[in-house]
Amino acid sequence: MSAISPLIKRSLVDQALEQLRQRISDGVWSVGQRLPTEPELVAELGISRNTVREAMRVLAFSGLIEIRQGDGSYVRAVVDPLDTLKVLSRCSLEQARETRHILEVEAIGLASLRRTDEDLLALRRALQASSEHYHGDLEHYIACDLVFHRLLVDAAHNPALSELYRYFSSVIGAQLRQSLSIIPRHQHVFDLHVEILEAVERQDPEQAKALCRQLINEP
């Protein structure tokens, strides 16, 4: 009997989660609103206090709610981040490439406004390392180039942008290697990287974004 009790408990938690998620997605509780207390949820859902507490922990872990010690639980989002991750994981390579490009252009515009001296120093070092391998070993060049582009996005100082960019970069990594292995590396393409960094340093977001679009459209 004890061997199956965890399954029964898990089933009850799943049922509680489904009901709580449904109420949030239906707008019964809006973003920023304080959720009912544990005793109130127990009465409303007809389940035990332990089941409610476990379900609330899962919702907090997924980012749907925020539990504030001594204050209560508040709705943080109406879309479950785990559902979003499932959608992202099913996107095609072309969709991943397109999304990465959109993120990069906008992030570089922000980086031009927000970059620090430390950001510029790290970017110069990364670009120098990239230049040393541009006409050489492909794997070394790709590794250095990815670092440079990640640092550009990181200079926007928006963790959400940085994380999404890293994800989509990893998805299309193999595709990048395949294209670069058959397309000759032209100096003017690398020079665009230099010009992008110069625009970021001058804090010229529109020029930086225009140069980034030009780089993206290179074969």
Q: What is the per-residue pLDDT across 94-129, written as a single tens digit (0 to 9) for each?
A: 898 899 999 999 999 999 999 999 999 999 999 999
pLDDT in tens, 72-90: 899 988 877 777 778 888 8
What is the Cα–Cα distance from 111 to 201, expressed in whole angstroms? 9
Q: How far apart are CA 128 and CA 180, in angstroms?
A: 19
Instruction: Identify the DSSP state of 37.
Output: P
The confidence score (pLDDT) of residue 182 equals 67
Exposure pattern of 102-116 as b/e (b: 16+ CB <10 Å)? ebbbbbbbbbbebbe
Longest CA–CA span in the chain (Å) reads 71
**What pLDDT, on the 0 to 100 scale, is given for residue 189?**
85
Write down the pLDDT at residue 14: 87
Query: 92 vs 98, 130, 171, 175, CA distance in Å?
Result: 10, 29, 9, 12
**Above 70 in pLDDT, residue 181?**
no
pLDDT category of residue 10 using cuts at 50, 70 and 90: low
Predicted local distance difference test score (pLDDT) of residue 219: 57
What confidence tier does 7 reach under pLDDT thresholds 50, 70, 90? very low
Our CA angle for 76, 28, 11, nearest 5°, is 80
- Of the two residues 135 and 6, the one the predictor is more confident about is 135
